[in-house]
Every structure is written in structure tokens, then in C-alpha cells.
Amino acid sequence: MKSMRLTVYTDYSLRTLIYLGAKKQDELTTIQEISDAYNISKNHLMKVTHQLGQLGYIETIRGRGGGIRLAKLPAHISIGEVVRQTEEDFHLVECFDPESNMCKIAPACQLKGVLAEALQAYLEVLDRYTVEDFLGNRDLLMQLLQ
């Protein structure tokens, strides 16, 4: 049974953005550094950072002494937007996916509307926050990530 939770991919995306946000504004970081800090797969992070770059959240500086950094100010990175762009789907129940819906009561069911409303409320809460909101204690964050 699938519960309403974020994928590992989205979790790593958010953690990467928080890590980069906690660094000094133009300070470069490597994927290996983030991988080591969170003890997560470098290969997985490479996919995450590639997409975050394509979405315009981070920029990559190539060459010797290169690395990655935020492409926007942390206050301009909406958590709700990141979640919408990194989650595979929001099919909380079978009937949310018209291609695989086999539920016999779907045409008469009122639960779908309630769950859609709950999902909308969930995303609206995330929309109220930016990466900046999670950087209140940068020094402690960086200390924990060393």
C-alpha cells in the first residue's frame, strides 16, 4: 500500500538545496561533499543535481576547482514547486490515475474529491515555504553536516 509520502528522489532534492543554501552564497560544493555529508549515494545525487540544474535551481561550474551552487537565492526556491517538479506522480489512490483505474465505484465515489482536496491543501502548505525558511541556523546545519 502506498502512503502519502515523498519519494527518496524528492527528499534528496530538498536536502541538496538545503545543503547548498546553508553554504556561503557563491561557495562551490561538490556532489561528493553532499553525498558524504548525508551519507547517501553519489550516483543517485548525480541524477538529482542534474535535474535540479535543468530546472534552474542550481548551476554547475565545470573545470578545475568547479562544483555546484544555488542558481537562485534560497528565498526564491519554493518547496511546493520543487516537490511538484521532482515527484513522479500524486496518485494517492488508484482512481487518480485514469490509465490504471479499475475501481468499480469510481463514478459514484466521493472519496476521490476529499483526497484531491487534501492533496491540494498539502501542496498549498508547501507553497508557503522556501529553502530560506529552513536555513535559520546555518552554523548548526553545517556543523551537523561536517
Write out pLDDT tens, residues 2-43: 456 789 999 999 999 999 999 988 899 999 999 999 999 999
118 within a domain of the structure (yes/no): no
Strand blocks (E) in the chain: 58-61, 67-70
66: how many CB neighbours lie within 10 A of its CB?
Answer: 10
76-98 residue pLDDT tens: 999 999 999 999 888 777 777 77
pTM of the model: 0.87
Residue 139 identity: D
For the CA atoms of 59, 62, 64, 65, the dihedral, rounded to the nearest 10 degrees, stands at: 0
State how many domains the chain has. Answer: 1
* Range ranked top by mean pLDDT from 62-66, 127-131, 140-144: 127-131
Q: Which residues span the domain enclosing 55?
A: 8-88+130-144
Between CA 146 and CA 139 the distance in angstroms is 11
We report the CATH number of the domain holding residue 40 as: 1.10.10.10
pLDDT band at 1 (very low <50, low <70, confident <90, very high): very low
106 within a domain of the structure (yes/no): no
Strand partners, 41: none
